[in-house]
Amino acid sequence: MKVISTLTLSLLFCISLTSQTIPIRETNPLPLGVLFFDAAQLPNGDVIAYGGGVPAANNETWHYDWETEVWTQIGDLAYPVAQAISVALSNGDILSIGGTDDFTGKEQRSQLFKVSTQTWEEEGAYGFLNPVYTRHSALTLPDDYVLMTTTNGDFTVYDPATGMWSDQDAPAPLDAGGSPMVWLEAQEEVLFTGAGGQIFEPGAPPTSGNLFYLNPAQPLYQDAVIRLLDGHVLTMDLQLSFDNFVTNYNPVTQVATQVAEIPFNSGVNSRSAVLMPDGKVLTYGFGDLANLNDTKLIQVYDPATDEWEYGVYDDFGPSGAPRMFVLPDSSVLAISIVNENIDGSMQNRCWILNRDEGSSAFETGIVASARAFPSPSSGQVFFPDAGEGDLLKLYSPNGKLIGEWRLENREVDLSSESLPNGLYFFTLSSSDRPPVSSGKLVLVK
């Protein structure tokens, strides 16, 4: 793999529970150089970043090749937008929703990025007005319906067959509107993490359903919300109070339990979290608010042990919570919100975590332990590390569960499944124990 980068930063030395060494280095910046852009990951692991800008939004789209680490400008947006949110559909297309074009009015429409053509198409509009153009939240449901809510509890559903939205008066998530949402596969329900937790049980189609508060209310935080491989949900408090609280929500019991606190928390909008293929959670971002060139941290949480590993690095990193994406080799791309250069120009600097120059991330400590053969595969896959009758679960690069299959003779045939080509992460487990191994699989049909 050819890596094009200009600056190699110092290594991160994890000084806590293990002597793990994770590399971090700067890579090519996002050429936009703007605030309020959005970004999304494609099925092959590449990333697109689009829109953003002040005082008016732009219509540019940039494509990041994870192997060459090069940004290339591609087709323009259907209309300029900033502060939009996006979700991925099962075929890899990206739906961009809401936002603003000039920071005085609100966009009440959507646009779709077609992976097959690398172009944008305008989709339907929705009727209600969000009080602001931020703090709306969206989630892809089964069959590619998309649920979107706003800060005042408005509720609308996107129908992929028509490209249109169906506004709903009820049910609405009330004072949890705009809070992060998580789809709980086993329970077939949506968890809203705001207002002590609310559960939405969608109907068929999901333009109707049942909505209720968790009783009693649970300590759920909204600043970083991660669905773990075992189906639990990790929520983190990153508010300016500098509380380091973390809870683990069990969807079976509907109870959230306090777990090990974050070793360091620099406040709201300063750190981001991402789920790694091995089930650990990595946080990265801004360091000490009082000492801008001190105390930059990467922190890794292991749900299996309820412990954190952490370490410091010397060079200046993101000035806020970066956008982070797990790449096919288990490294992480971090895109800064924006950094001001010495000459006053703005730049979205980027970093690669967990990949040495020209090496594989599987040599650096955050690894996938299980093997799939062959990979790439056209559908018939053998798992030499599996037990007889193990349950295979496939996940998208952003952690969404795609499906599950029971292995026979440590094999599975995915050739007849409606799975798009691209990268998947997987776990293997038996009926009486949680996932014990994980790995990656590339499908090419």
Q: Give the CATH number of the domain where residue 152 resides.
A: 2.120.10.80
- The reply to whether 438 and 359 lie within a common domain is no
Predicted local distance difference test score (pLDDT) of residue 344 = 62
Asked if residue 393 belongs to a domain, the reply is yes
Q: Whole-angstrom Cα distance, residue 398 to residue 260?
A: 24
- The reply to whether 399 and 323 lie within a common domain is no
Q: Whole-angstrom Cα distance, residue 375 to residue 398?
A: 19
Does the pTM surpass 0.85? The reply is: no
Whether the upstream peptide bond of residue 435 has omega within 30° of 0, thus cis, is no
- The reply to whether 112 and 199 lie within a common domain is yes
Domain count, the chain: 2
The partner residues of 183 in beta bridges, in order of sequence, read 190
- The reply to whether 336 and 433 lie within a common domain is no
Q: Show which of 363, 397, 418 is a domain's final residue.
A: 363
CATH of the domain at 407: 2.60.40
- The reply to whether 310 and 393 lie within a common domain is no
The partner residues of 307 in beta bridges, in order of sequence, read 302
Sign of CA pseudo-dihedral 313, 262, 352, 439: positive
Asked if residue 83 belongs to a domain, the reply is yes
- The reply to whether 384 and 358 lie within a common domain is no
Q: Show which of 363, 390, 423 is a domain's final residue.
A: 363
- The reply to whether 399 and 434 lie within a common domain is yes
Do residues 394 and 441 make contact, with C-beta atoms less than 8 angstroms apart? yes
Predicted local distance difference test score (pLDDT) of residue 238 = 76
Q: Whole-angstrom Cα distance, residue 123 to residue 144?
A: 14
Q: 142 — phi, psi (to 5°)?
A: -55, 150
- The reply to whether 352 and 386 lie within a common domain is no
Q: Show which of 330, 363, 396 is a domain's final residue.
A: 363
Asked if residue 373 belongs to a domain, the reply is no
Asked if residue 6 belongs to a domain, the reply is no
Asked if residue 264 belongs to a domain, the reply is yes
* Among 64, 75, 48, 50, residue whose Cα is nearest residue 5: 64
Domain holding 418, by residue range, is: 380-443
- The reply to whether 154 and 64 lie within a common domain is yes
Predicted local distance difference test score (pLDDT) of residue 399 = 67
Provide the residue-wise pLDDT of the chain in tens; the chain has 445 residues: 333 222 222 233 333 333 345 678 889 999 888 889 999 998 888 999 999 998 899 999 999 998 899 999 999 999 999 999 999 998 889 999 999 999 888 899 999 999 989 999 999 998 876 667 777 899 999 889 999 988 777 888 999 999 999 987 656 666 777 789 999 988 999 999 988 999 999 988 888 888 899 999 999 998 899 999 888 999 998 776 667 899 999 999 999 999 998 887 776 678 899 988 778 899 888 755 555 444 567 888 999 999 988 776 656 677 788 999 988 778 899 999 876 565 666 789 899 987 765 433 323 333 346 778 777 787 888 887 788 888 998 987 666 788 999 998 888 999 888 888 777 888 888 765 555 577 788 887 6
- The reply to whether 26 and 121 lie within a common domain is yes
* Among 419, 427, 425, residue whose Cα is nearest residue 396: 425
Asked if residue 7 belongs to a domain, the reply is no
Question: Which structure tokens are listed for 132?
Answer: 């602001």
- The reply to whether 401 and 285 lie within a common domain is no
Q: Pairing relation of β-strands 24-30 and 346-353?
A: antiparallel
- The reply to whether 341 and 400 lie within a common domain is no
Q: DSSP secondary-structure letter at 7? A: B
Instruction: Give the Cα-Cα-Cα angle 72, 75, 78 (nearest 5 degrees).
Output: 140
Asked if residue 272 belongs to a domain, the reply is yes
Asked if residue 288 belongs to a domain, the reply is yes
